[in-house]
Amino acid sequence: MTVLPSVWKENRNTADILLGNGIAIYHQDKQVPMIFNGSCEHIFPDNTLYVIHSPVIGRICVMICKDALTHDYLNVVLDKIRASLILIPSFSTGSYDFENVVAHCRAYDCNVAWINACAAKHLKPDKPENFRLTGLVLHSGKGSGALDRLIRPVYCQYRRKGVCLFDSEIDLD
């Protein structure tokens, strides 16, 4: 499964979710508009959150950027839907708020992968340190102890034509 970075088009901010064969299984719309420098992202949310159920992983949700930063919405996903994996593609000028989201998900034994999937560097050219970290991954679980709860930073793994790429496998065993 691949979650593509979200694309803003025709008043929708949407991330495509693809199967391994490259076929889109659904398009997750962003639900909560971002407010930046006094301007509000002009989107028309569809009020739909798709949930993929995997017999091995459990419930998988995609929350685009501000959706995951909105506590009421995040709590519905964690407490009511009981997601076991949240994938968060974002457009971010830093990681602090997402570090808090990832830490909050630990209490629900929810695995999280946040990736700064869009280049927001042009918004903060004076803060290159904000873009060294490209994501966070939380492996959470009620297993055998502290090693089962691991938040690890994600840095650019490799570059292709100057673009930072990240991929990760989820162990199903």
Report phi then psi at 121, rounded to 5.
-55, -35
Q: What is the pLDDT of residue 85?
A: 92
What pairing do the DSSP bridges indicate for beta strands 158-160 and 12-18?
unpaired
Percent of the chain with pLDDT over 70: 66
Amino acid residing at 102: V
Asked if residue 28 is part of any domain, the answer here is no
In the predicted model, is pLDDT for residue 115 greater than 60? Answer: yes
Amino acid residing at 7: V
Bridge partner list, 18: 2, 24
Amino acid residing at 152: R
> What pTM value is reported for the model?
0.78
DSSP string, 75-100: HIIIIIS--SEEEEEEE-S-SHHHHH
Instruction: Classify burial at 143, counting beta carbons within 10 Å of its beta carbon; exposed 0-12, middle 13-18, buried 19 or more.
Output: exposed
Asked if residue 63 is part of any domain, the answer here is yes
In the predicted model, is pLDDT for residue 142 greater than 60? Answer: no
Region 117-145 average pLDDT: 61
Asked if residue 116 is part of any domain, the answer here is yes
DSSP H helices, 2-154, are 66-69, 71-75, 96-106
Bridge partner list, 89: 115
Domain that holds residue 128: 48-165
Q: What is the pLDDT of residue 93?
A: 59
Asked if residue 58 is part of any domain, the answer here is yes
Give the separation between CA 139 and CA 122, rounded to whole angstroms. 31
Domain tally, the chain: 1
In the predicted model, is pLDDT for residue 128 greater than 90? Answer: no
